[in-house]
Chains A and B, each alone.
Chain A
Amino acid sequence: MKKTSKAPVNLIITVIILFPVYVHAQLPIYISDSVSSEVKKNAAVVKRFENIEFVVNKPDDATVEFHQVFTVLNEEGKSTLLFNEYTSKYISLDDVEIKLYDAKGKQISRYKKKDLHTQAVGEGLIEDGYVTFFESTTSTYPVTVEYKYKLQYTGTLNIPDYRISRHSEGVEQSQFTARVAESAGLRYRAKNIDLKPEITQEGKYAVYKWKVKNLPPYEYEDGAVSYEERYPSVKMALNRFSIYGYEGDMSSWKNFGAWISSLYKGLDELPQEKKTFFNNLVSSAKNDREKARIIYEYLQKNFRYVSIQLGIGGYKPFSAAFTEQKKYGDCKGLSNYMKAALNAVGVKSHLAIINAGYNDEPVIPEFPSNSFNHVILCIPQLKDSIWLECTSSTSDFAELGTFTENRYAMLITENGGVLVPTPSSNPNSNKLITKTIIEMADDGSGESRTEFRTSGYFRVLMDDVLKAKKDDQKETLVFGLYYKQPDEFEFNKVEKAGIHTTTLAMVVEKIPEFTAGSKVFLSPRLYKLWPRKLPKAENRRLDFYFRQPFIETDTTIYKLPDGFVVDVMPATKELTSEYSHYISKTWYDENQKALINTVTLELKKHKIPAAKYAEVKKFFDDVMMNENQRIVIKKN
């Protein structure tokens, strides 16, 4: 009896094994119309089904198997048809199968690994790694694509996170299973979603299972945090990892830092004559800060950034002696060299491992993991430690910028890793102070002379303009800063101590914005203080990131031709939000026979919480509106 009752079950299994394609074709997940409306609304793509199996046997032996089915609803979701996987010496790709189904769930095409293309990656001079890619093409939507593939890891410093969804993508069902040998030790942390795994024990493996069902899509938001942090995911890290045969411990920042420290060990020795050289170089310096400044500027002039990341060299720097010989290096190599040079003159510093990007979030202190992609240098001081970006030949000394400010760096010390905050961004680091005098003739033609005093972001911009060819200078002025198209112009640097100063002299055919009969309409300044609207504020879920906080101050003086009088002058305007401030004033100076306008625009912080974004957007819209006011003059 028992036997016969079991027979149908066996039969079903056999059928499934023998006719997998047939069975699949019957499954609703391949049929476009069967997408539930809840996850379809505002979606370009629906993840119909996903099963990811992540197995860690040992720190140097792990696999991930993916099985995914997506229905692409329209052209906007086209990028889902692009299969794209990174491989390297420690990640290899096997067993790829890509299938395409039409709207009715009928298989249209099928591709294997041999159909895929492989291409070297890396923006640097030379980096390890390849992408293997394949783009399925379709002429109609909806279309369903199925991916089955496997990645083999012999290094586990970086392991895959569970990426649950992304913008315009709804999820019907998804499951991620991590089967991790106890010796490796998995840690995890959910982001943008409240999701807990089901945990069981199977022999020496701990098994974690996350499941997600019916998740509606998120809207794409401009100016948000770096892409990986925007949507629901579960981040993963192993307590014990391996990379290129080097084993390490990531159970704490201290231990992870100790591992990195071991890679850097003994690489910060300079030849004796170079040590002497640096001591001579800083002989007149009064304190550590000055020594550091002199060496930093020497480094900027004589060394250059080149990215060479091969094998463990992606984590371990070239020695200071090698860098000395070549005069080039990547972020590790140059920071390590700077450290060695400082060491030679008796200044102690620490390498600081960090994640870079103006819209990158700080790492989570309670969750040690390798989210780092950059190295800078920290010189500890009793107050206000000195931080150095060693890859830039244009940065000001001890100014990091939003690229690495406002977050944690892991300092590599004798006692392992220590997580410390980097400085907060300060609007005073990015200053633009302009003063313009315009002499206008009767016919509206005129000449202007502007002085720019700049720091930080604006200084780099001015330096770039200085170096550019004349037509490129002109394009930056007209397209970038929104100046009127000049007939002639000169852009020059003023060589003097203190703040970086440049001048712009222009001859312009028509100074006024426009005229109406005898009325002449003048713009408060010749460029645009705030040229564009910020993205919409409705339903904002994510914080908004400006590139940097700043202070801009402008004084524009119009010397009017004889016989002209002021008809309308904009009233003084002051605007304020928690994060910003604006004030503009216009008046007529009888003595100079000049119209004078001053304005200050300050953005205090570059990251605006989502809840405050509407207020800040309104502020900038109002600024733009006020800046569109014109001064009206007329001939008496």
Chain B
Amino acid sequence: MRKLPPLPFLLLFSIMTFAQKNKDSNIPAFGNVIKEELDMKECDFDKKAEAVVLFEKGELSCVIAGNGVSLELERHVRIKILKDEGRSASDIHLPYYNWGGVQSIDDLVAQTYNLDPSGKVVITKVDKKSIFEKKLNKRITEKVFTFPEVKAGSIIEYKYVLAGAALVDWYFQRNIPVKYSQFAIDFPSEIEIHASPKCSREYDKKISETSTRTTQFFAMKDVPALRDEPYILNEDDYMERVETKPVAFNINGRRESMVVYWPKVIKALIEDEDFGIQLKKEVPRTADLDAELKIITDPYLRMKTIYNYVKKNMEWNGYEGIWAFDGIKAAWKDKKGTAGEINLILVNLLKDAGLKTKPILVSTHDNGLVNTTDAGVYGDYGYNQFNKVLAWVEINDRVYVLDATSKETPPHLIPRDVILTEGLVIDKVETFDWGWKTLWDDQAGYKNLILINGEIDENNKLTGEVSINSYDYARLDRISEARKDKKNFTEKYFSSPNPGITVDSLVFENLDSDSMPLVQRVYFNHDLSASGEYKYFTTNLFTGLEKNPFVADTRYTDVFFGVNQVYNIVSNFSIPDGYVFEELPKNIKMIMPDTSISISRVSQANETRLAIRILLEFRKPFYSIGEYPEFKEFYKKLQDILNEQYVIRKKP
């Protein structure tokens, strides 16, 4: 939920003057398709592509309509269909905001191009009757259509004007490759728009100014398609794009900067009825809490008590945001509220109890990274970058970050969805107690201690017990599902990654304690594979490391684990009389050149028993694209080590 810009900002537009739009020549005119494009058989920088955007053009401009001024986005797209599967690129959905007639899509034209047997270009138009209006919900409607006469080889083209557009960010990248994409922002000189390219590839930038207008122009060539990748922080943050915002007005020769700095934003927040003011209100009817707190003196326990109290009493209605639009009193009465309401209640109560607490604004991984140097502009303050407010509590020298909407997170862990991001602590500007904090704790990680005890009998059967002790984030990862559905849990963590093994039962321990590891005791049996007098088995059982997710050779985004990881696997196996161990896999220690990942394995066997100890540690939560080749190679070897089997043989 964003706050709307204040009225004066909107009114400012009405005194702007309008100038002629400048035309550019990089883009062919609508309908001007040449035979070479139709003869094209593949995308030169992505031979497998099923379709390619030949060009996409966007022009955002200020236009005068009557007494008012509004924004208009003209969009023009041409796509080449290369393969049969690419035909679905001709299903077009154009959503727009239809509530109160704010936006409309005008002048929509669309047509298909094909070559006839004689080599002539044949045009088939999308007729008006075949363009449908689909009302998605109260606010959003979309224009829906598909192109006629589309086959591999066809070109489709459409163009329209979105009237009443907002200032938009432009994405060069799509799920199919783009040969050329350009974006122009054409504004009267009275309004200064700042456009910041967030690009990892080369792009073109031109600025042209007349006495009355400024046009900023961006273009990118040969943009590869996006690919789904595992362990990605947020796809949007990796898209090639240009972000835009208004930064200043020039009125009668005077430049009025619209840019604001964080102190101003923080001051506004502190004075805001829906934020700072709420922290001064008293949360009513908390006698039961007060009674509980009366007998607790330890500050950590006081914090924990309040945190659990809010979690127990407040239910999250699913809405994010930093605001308490309905006020914390009303939310408290309803026992239900937005993330903003719930956590402002939390901050309020913690402060009341004398704990050093401040609200901290955060942006979850799903919401995307925050630009700490951009505090926004008048009318669109930088707080709009954040989607949650949490409690920042300092006790002695330790910091706690609390989110009362995240029911399972214990107070000593930073909530998983914001870990390794930058948060903004809000406090009085004069005190300098406000500022940016990296949400990271070296001590907490994803930790699994896995103890395996197995016994192999005469009949090739391995029977055993594995006890998985999940600490901190490993516990957090599993706890909700463990509580919810044991059957699904068994399937997801044990049966499905270990096909061939029968899970007889599963017992949980510490299900209701958030300071103890979640213990999962798995009792299993497994008919061992045998060849002649040999039997063999893996010790990579129920570890969560059964499969290597990083097999792709190319990586387009950074690998984001978010936390450090430790796997400590200790196994013991006994073998039946009359059997001996074949040569054991070598004891080994392997470490990444930058020392960030290490694995060691030590095996020991006597006549009847085998003991193996594997320690795998990840000391880095994040790998950049540049580090990927090394990382991937390491992962492959790591998988080989984990999956090496142990062999026993019948004594002759």
B530 CB contacts on chain A under 8 angstroms: 629
Complex Cα gap A302–B136 (Å): 31
For residue B393, CB closer than 8 A to chain A, the reply is no
Complex Cα gap A138–B582 (Å): 57
Within 8 A of A (CB), among B535-557: 536, 547-548, 551-554
Residue pair B552, A76 in contact (C-beta under 8 Å): no
Residue pair B532, A632 in contact (C-beta under 8 Å): yes
Interface size on B, residues (CB 8 A): 66
A2 CB contacts on chain B under 8 angstroms: none
Within 8 A of A (CB), among B543-589: 547-548, 551-554, 582-585
Given the known inter-chain contacts A137-B317, A513-B645, A567-B532, please indicate yes or no for A628 contacting B582, CB distance below 8 A. Answer: no
Residue pair B551, A474 in contact (C-beta under 8 Å): yes
Complex Cα gap A517–B134 (Å): 68
Residue pair B536, A125 in contact (C-beta under 8 Å): no
For residue A16, CB closer than 8 A to chain B, the reply is no
* Residue of B with least CB distance to A488: B553
Q: Which of B316, B552, B647 contacts A519 (CB 8 A)?
A: B647
Given the known inter-chain contacts A138-B315, A514-B645, A570-B531, please indicate yes or no for A326 contacting B130, CB distance below 8 A. Answer: yes
A485 CB contacts on chain B under 8 angstroms: 548, 551, 636, 639
A117 CB contacts on chain B under 8 angstroms: 137
Within 8 A of B (CB), among A501-547: 510, 513-514, 516-519, 521, 531-533
| Chain A 567-607 per-residue mask, 1 if CB under 8 angstroms from chain B, else 0 | 11110000000000000000000000000000000000000
Complex Cα gap A302–B154 (Å): 11
Complex Cα gap A475–B552 (Å): 7
Q: Which of A75, A137, A516, A629 contacts B318 (CB 8 A)?
A: A137
B582 CB contacts on chain A under 8 angstroms: 516-517, 519
Residue pair B83, A467 in contact (C-beta under 8 Å): yes
* Residue of B with least CB distance to A513: B645
* Residue of A with least CB distance to B645: A514
Given the known inter-chain contacts A139-B315, A519-B647, please indicate yes or no for A304 contacting B150, CB distance below 8 A. Answer: yes
Complex Cα gap A479–B230 (Å): 13
Within 8 A of B (CB), among A74-91: 74-76
Q: Which of A76, A302, A306, A469 contacts B151 (CB 8 A)?
A: A302
Complex Cα gap A613–B145 (Å): 47
| Chain A 112-147 per-residue mask, 1 if CB under 8 angstroms from chain B, else 0 | 000001111000011000000000011100000000
B552 CB contacts on chain A under 8 angstroms: 471, 474-475
Comparing B84-92, B188-196, B410-418, the segment that makes contact with chain A is B84-92
Complex Cα gap A328–B156 (Å): 14
B85 CB contacts on chain A under 8 angstroms: 467
B639 CB contacts on chain A under 8 angstroms: 485
Complex Cα gap A469–B175 (Å): 13
Residue pair A125, B137 in contact (C-beta under 8 Å): no
B407 CB contacts on chain A under 8 angstroms: 139
Given the known inter-chain contacts A474-B551, A514-B645, please indicate yes or no for A306 contacting B315, CB distance below 8 A. Answer: no
A138 CB contacts on chain B under 8 angstroms: 315
Residue pair A630, B536 in contact (C-beta under 8 Å): yes
For residue A624, CB closer than 8 A to chain B, the reply is yes
* Residue of A with least CB distance to B501: A533
Given the known inter-chain contacts A76-B484, A137-B318, please indicate yes or no for A632 contacting B144, CB distance below 8 A. Answer: no
Complex Cα gap A478–B552 (Å): 10
A328 CB contacts on chain B under 8 angstroms: 146, 148, 150
B640 CB contacts on chain A under 8 angstroms: 510
Residue pair A632, B149 in contact (C-beta under 8 Å): no
Residue pair B553, A533 in contact (C-beta under 8 Å): no
A611 CB contacts on chain B under 8 angstroms: none
* Residue of B with least CB distance to A631: B531
Within 8 A of A (CB), among B35-87: 46, 48, 50, 83-85, 87
| Chain B 469-500 per-residue mask, 1 if CB under 8 angstroms from chain A, else 0 | 00000000000000111000000000110011
B333 CB contacts on chain A under 8 angstroms: none
Q: Which of B148, B152, B336, B551 contacts A325 (CB 8 A)?
A: B148
A125 CB contacts on chain B under 8 angstroms: 91, 144-146
Within 8 A of B (CB), among A461-511: 467-472, 474-475, 478-479, 485, 510
For residue A393, CB closer than 8 A to chain B, the reply is yes
Residue pair A628, B534 in contact (C-beta under 8 Å): no
B210 CB contacts on chain A under 8 angstroms: none
* Residue of A with least CB distance to B88: A304
For residue A196, CB closer than 8 A to chain B, the reply is no
Given the known inter-chain contacts A327-B149, A469-B227, please indicate yes or no for A624 contacting B84, CB distance below 8 A. Answer: no
Within 8 A of A (CB), among B129-159: 130, 132, 134-138, 144-146, 148-152
A474 CB contacts on chain B under 8 angstroms: 551-553
A624 CB contacts on chain B under 8 angstroms: 499-500
Given the known inter-chain contacts A138-B315, A139-B315, please indicate yes or no for A479 contacting B547, CB distance below 8 A. Answer: yes
A11 CB contacts on chain B under 8 angstroms: none
Residue pair B531, A568 in contact (C-beta under 8 Å): yes
Residue pair A76, B485 in contact (C-beta under 8 Å): yes
Q: How far is the CB of A525 from chain B (nearest CB, A)?
A: 15
Complex Cα gap A569–B254 (Å): 90
For residue A382, CB closer than 8 A to chain B, the reply is no
Within 8 A of A (CB), among B112-143: 124, 130, 132, 134-138
Q: How extensive is the interface on chain A, given as a class? A: 35 or more
The winner among A327, A467, A470, A518 for most chain B CB atoms within 10 A is: A327
Q: Which of A118, A126, A468, A533 contacts B144 (CB 8 A)?
A: A126
| Chain A 603-636 per-residue mask, 1 if CB under 8 angstroms from chain B, else 0 | 0000000000000000000001100111110000
Within 8 A of A (CB), among B619-652: 636, 639-640, 643-647
For residue A301, CB closer than 8 A to chain B, the reply is yes
* Residue of B with least CB distance to A472: B227
B532 CB contacts on chain A under 8 angstroms: 567-569, 632
Complex Cα gap A475–B132 (Å): 39
Complex Cα gap A277–B355 (Å): 84
Q: How far is the CB of A84 from chain B (nearest CB, A)?
A: 15
Residue pair A119, B536 in contact (C-beta under 8 Å): no
B146 CB contacts on chain A under 8 angstroms: 125, 306, 328
Residue pair A301, B151 in contact (C-beta under 8 Å): yes
* Residue of B with least CB distance to A75: B484
Complex Cα gap A496–B640 (Å): 39
B496 CB contacts on chain A under 8 angstroms: 532
* Residue of B with least CB distance to A528: B499
Residue pair A120, B136 in contact (C-beta under 8 Å): yes
Residue pair B551, A475 in contact (C-beta under 8 Å): yes
Residue pair A514, B227 in contact (C-beta under 8 Å): no
For residue B107, CB closer than 8 A to chain A, the reply is no
For residue B527, CB closer than 8 A to chain A, the reply is yes
Given the known inter-chain contacts A76-B485, A120-B134, A328-B148, please indicate yes or no for A625 contacting B529, CB distance below 8 A. Answer: yes
Residue pair A625, B227 in contact (C-beta under 8 Å): no
Complex Cα gap A471–B46 (Å): 13
A625 CB contacts on chain B under 8 angstroms: 500, 527, 529
Residue pair B553, A470 in contact (C-beta under 8 Å): yes
Complex Cα gap A531–B499 (Å): 7
Residue pair B529, A469 in contact (C-beta under 8 Å): no
| Chain B 486-529 per-residue mask, 1 if CB under 8 angstroms from chain A, else 0 | 00000000011001100000000000000000000000000101
Chain A residues at the B interface, C-beta cutoff of 8 Å = 74-76, 117-120, 125-126, 137-139, 301-302, 304, 306, 308, 310, 325-328, 393, 467-472, 474-475, 478-479, 485, 510, 513-514, 516-519, 521, 531-533, 567-570, 624-625, 628-632
Between A and B, 27 residue pairs with Cβ closer than 8 Å are A75-B483, A118-B138, A126-B132, A126-B134, A139-B407, A301-B84, A301-B151, A301-B152, A306-B91, A326-B130, A468-B48, A470-B48, A471-B552, A471-B554, A472-B227, A485-B548, A485-B636, A516-B583, A521-B647, A567-B532, A568-B532, A570-B531, A628-B500, A628-B529, A629-B530, A629-B531, A632-B534
8 tightest A-B contacts by CB? Answer: A517-B583, A568-B532, A628-B529, A471-B552, A516-B582, A516-B647, A75-B484, A326-B148
Known: A516-B536, A568-B534. 11 other contacts (CB 8 A): A120-B135, A137-B318, A301-B84, A302-B151, A304-B88, A308-B132, A325-B148, A475-B551, A519-B582, A624-B499, A632-B534
